[in-house]
């Protein structure tokens, strides 16, 4: 993995702009701690920060290729998992290669197929290619959006980068929030996407774009396709297992140490099992990592999202697979001290301790490895969350994860849907309910329908689409920013687009076979996991249950609410937030309060550190 950035201008000579390019690239040094590179021409300036994973010598970037009088320049972040097959195909078409890198394969794929090259890739990627002959910039992002890419078009300039901070380092771009940006920060908290600041856009997953002096052509190159599923139950389970086996094997390719994350749940255990089998064939032992928290197990209280503790299942899986296991215990002090790390990594306030703990876990893993495989996204692909199985939530006319958080009938004033942490001015300006309703309706309008599908299956197709396109990006962003903040590459086998497309059309009754969430995936993992783990009920990513963490963020939130100079004050309902933070009864506050405290703390620091201006 790496960080990329660049600047195109059809009216300004950029050949002497390396100093500015270095400023932009420097913001991405955590993503690419091993090497930096620059390429400049009169109209294009490209930069690269490299994390070495494949071909340390041959994969230097930006990479160029000159054919006659024409030069092509590439800056690329990601991994093309099928690059070996593509290299052989390209060799059969008279291409020659000087390196063993997937970077060179990507560049030659563009030479061979032009902008259609993206349809040949299996991987996670965000890249930009400058075509000197056409005087055009081509950018693309992987199918599910595992790797980020932002861009801005201002006058004759195109500025792009892996993270928003790279664009903000350019003098043409200012940290200005308009209504859309304010809504992204203060309304659609449980969704991701967008450039937040005025003029900055995020390239959608599965999209590409071509920029020339005369035009901009933004378009999708990959979309989910709905059609009848014709495989029977046994064939379906076998095909899922075959796809995952192939995907994990491809994603273990690296010239640096590879490990897996292991929570003791179905998804990470399945990935770890497949990885361990590949390691065993090479007489190697897989290293696995799990996270735990100080003082959490003794304070654990099970709920619908987290019905059980991970540790016993982690220990069982590590023993079953014979892995070299590492249990990483995160302290409450470290969680509090690093609470602003997610905000700085995302360039916006984010999910608090859930992200901070990942950062601390990845920081330890990075000491021994460069690549880790994760079970992320299986719940979105196969339907693992409780909200896939709750009739009230399924039938609610909104995003299911929002409906699930609202709870049922309750006299708890802090959990009522109408209770808002926004100030009256912000509520009047942003109209939160109308905005959420519009986002929901826009998402439903995109769903690829299946003609003749029954009402129940059609609704479940909608639920899956909402999760894949509106909720999954939130988690993929979390995984990318927290891993890249430590210089670790995290790969996600369940985001293989072949698997996602296949599972998309499996009927709900088959997905939930055996009357359990992700039933078809459990069938696929039959024989490679112990039954206690294979049939373990879904338990979400763990959080700290240490009361000391709650006390720390409550106190921090109150100090912000009482600070007359705190930049967040105009945006929040001070009375509501203060009462929530002061309330001693944890049952009344509810788990959602901890997220809100984390978020307010980050948002306040973000407004200050980024010198945000509201338009």
Residue 168, preceding bond cis, omega within 30 degrees?
no
For 56, 126, 491, the CA distances from 370, given in Å and listed in that order, are 13, 19, 11
**Binding-site residue ranges for L-glutamine:** 102
Nearest one of 392, 443, 422 to 189, comparing CA atoms: 422
Cis peptide, bond prior to residue 466, ω within 30 of zero:
no
* CA-based nearest residue to 170, from 35, 84, 45: 45
Assigned token pair, 273:
């099992």
CA distances to 131, 302, 468, 535, 537 from 517, in Å: 48, 18, 16, 9, 8
**Residue 135: count of CB within 10 angstroms of its CB:** 16
- Over its C-alpha atoms, the chain yields an Rg (Å, rounded) of 24
Distance (Å, whole) CA 102 – CA 93: 17
Binding positions for ATP: 261, 291, 374-375
> Do 318 and 454 form a contact (C-beta atoms < 8 A)?
no
Which residues carry a binding-site annotation? 102, 261, 291, 374-375
244 close to 503: Cβ distance less than 8 angstroms: no
Write the CB contacts of 34 (distance below 8 Å, at least 6 apart in sequence): 50, 51, 52, 487
- Single out the catalytic residue among 2, 117, 208, 495: 2
CA distance 481 to 344: 9
**Whole-number Å distance between alpha carbons of 260 and 245:** 15
Helical (H) or strand (E) element with 80: strand 70-80
Residues with Cβ within 8 Å of 217's Cβ and at least 6 positions away in sequence, in order, are 209, 210
Q: How far apart are CA 589 and CA 519, in angstroms?
A: 34
Pair type for strands 176-177 and 200-202: unpaired
Q: Is 26 noted as a catalytic residue in this protein?
A: no
- Catalytic residues, which ones? 2
């Amino acid at each position: 993995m790496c960080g990329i950035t660049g600047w195109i201008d059809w009216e300004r000579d950029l050949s002497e702009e390396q100093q500015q390019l270095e400023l932009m690239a420097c913001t991405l040094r955590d993503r690419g701690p091993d090497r930096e590179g620059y390429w400049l021409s009169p109209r294009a300036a490209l930069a690269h920060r490299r994390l070495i994973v494949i071909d340390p010598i041959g994969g230097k970037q930006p990479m160029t290729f000159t054919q006659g009088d024409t030069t092509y320049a590439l800056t690329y972040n990601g991994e093309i998992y099928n690059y070996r097959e593509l290299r052989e195909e390209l060799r059969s078409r008279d291409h020659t290669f000087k390196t063993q890198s997937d970077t060179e394969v990507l560049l030659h794929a563009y030479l061979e197929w032009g902008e259609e090259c993206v349809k040949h890739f299996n991987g996670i990627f965000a890249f930009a290619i400058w075509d000197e002959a056409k005087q055009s910039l081509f950018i693309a992002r992987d199918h599910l959006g595992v790797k980020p890419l932002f861009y801005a078009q201002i006058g004759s300039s195109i500025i792009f980068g892996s993270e928003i901070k790279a664009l903000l380092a350019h003098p043409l771009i200012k940290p200005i929030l308009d209504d859309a940006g304010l809504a992204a920060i203060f309304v659609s908290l449980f969704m991701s996407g967008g450039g937040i600041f005025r003029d900055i856009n995020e390239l959608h997953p599965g999209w590409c774009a071509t920029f020339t002096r005369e035009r901009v052509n933004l378009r999708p190159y990959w979309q989910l396709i709905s059609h009848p599923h014709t495989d029977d139950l046994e064939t379906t389970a076998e095909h899922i297992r075959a796809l995952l086996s192939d995907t994990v094997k491809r994603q273990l390719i690296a010239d640096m140490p590879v490990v897996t994350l292991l929570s003791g749940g179905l998804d990470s255990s399945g990935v770890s099992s497949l990885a361990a089998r590949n390691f065993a064939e090479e007489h190697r032992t897989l290293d696995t990592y799990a996270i735990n928290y100080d003082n959490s197990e003794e304070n654990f209280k099970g709920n619908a999202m987290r019905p059980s503790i991970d540790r016993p299942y982690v220990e069982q899986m590590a023993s079953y697979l014979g892995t070299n296991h590492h249990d990483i215990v995160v302290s409450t002090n470290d969680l509090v001290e690093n609470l602003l790390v997610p905000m700085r990594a995302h360039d916006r306030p984010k999910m608090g301790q859930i992200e901070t703990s990942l950062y601390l876990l990845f920081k330890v893993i990075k000491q021994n490895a460069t690549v880790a495989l994760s079970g992320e996204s299986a719940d979105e692909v196969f339907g693992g969350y409780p909200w896939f199985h709750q009739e009230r939530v399924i039938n609610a006319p909104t995003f299911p994860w929002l409906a699930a958080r609202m709870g049922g009938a309750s006299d708890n004033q802090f959990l009522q849907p109408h209770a808002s942490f926004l100030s009256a001015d912000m509520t009047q300006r942003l109209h939160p309910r109308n905005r959420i309703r519009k986002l929901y309706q826009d998402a439903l309008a995109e769903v690829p329908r299946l003609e003749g599908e029954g009402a129940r299956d059609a609704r479940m197709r909608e639920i899956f689409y909402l999760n894949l396109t509106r909720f999954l990006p939130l988690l993929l962003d979390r995984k990318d920013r927290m891993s890249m903040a430590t210089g670790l590459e995290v790969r996600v086998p369940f985001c293989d687009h072949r698997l996602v497309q296949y599972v998309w059309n499996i009927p709900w009754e088959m997905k939930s076979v055996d009357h359990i969430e992700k039933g078809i995936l459990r069938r696929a993992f039959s024989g490679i996991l112990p039954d206690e783990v294979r049939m373990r009920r879904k338990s979400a990513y763990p959080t700290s249950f240490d009361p000391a963490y709650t006390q720390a963020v409550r106190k921090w939130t109150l100090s912000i609410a009482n600070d007359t100079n705190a930049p967040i004050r105009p945006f929040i309902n001070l009375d509501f937030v203060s009462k929530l933070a002061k309330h001693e009864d944890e049952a009344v506050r509810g788990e959602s309060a901890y997220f809100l405290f984390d978020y307010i703390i980050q948002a306040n620091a973000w407004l200050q550190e980024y010198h945000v201006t509201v338009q």
